[in-house]
Amino acid sequence: MKLSYIAKETEKCAGTNGFKSWGRVVNSLEKAYYNSYEIEAIAENTKLLKAVTAPFDGKAPYTSLLNYLKANDMGHKSKKLYAMVFKAFGKRDGLELNDEGVPCRRGTMPGNYHPNKTILVPVGTPRSCDPTSELYWSM
């Protein structure tokens, strides 16, 4: 199985070795629309991963994490997951929370360098949908 970029980046996190196939775990999360920030926050949360793998005495199947997240109201775009992402990456990446509690990065539109004209872009926004990216304006 060819690992995705995020699977390669997160497979060395402490709790990921508790799964039979971390690549399949990441693949199932990506299919459920979790973005790279969310997946990395999950991979770095060893307490969460231990809770998922504990019933399996060693190696959990790849579906166990997704089922656990859904059962504990930590689905894609949930407030609990947003809190995990902000806690893990808020300081490192200079993230801010918008009015809905979504972690965002602050950016300016290309060619617009006035410091008061910045906007908040939710993390995980594809470049083609990000108004602060050159790709967005080149389409």
**Which amino acid is located at 10 in the chain?**
T
pLDDT over threshold 60, residue 1: no
User: Residues 120-130: pLDDT tens digits?
Assistant: 999 988 888 88
pLDDT at 3: 64
SS3 for 105-122 is: EEECCCCCCCCCCCEEEE
Helix H or strand E encompassing 103: strand 103-107
Task: Return the percentage of the chain with pLDDT > 90, whole number.
Answer: 40
Query: DSSP states of 69-98 as a string?
Result: HHHTT--TT-HHHHHHHHHHHHHHHT-EE-
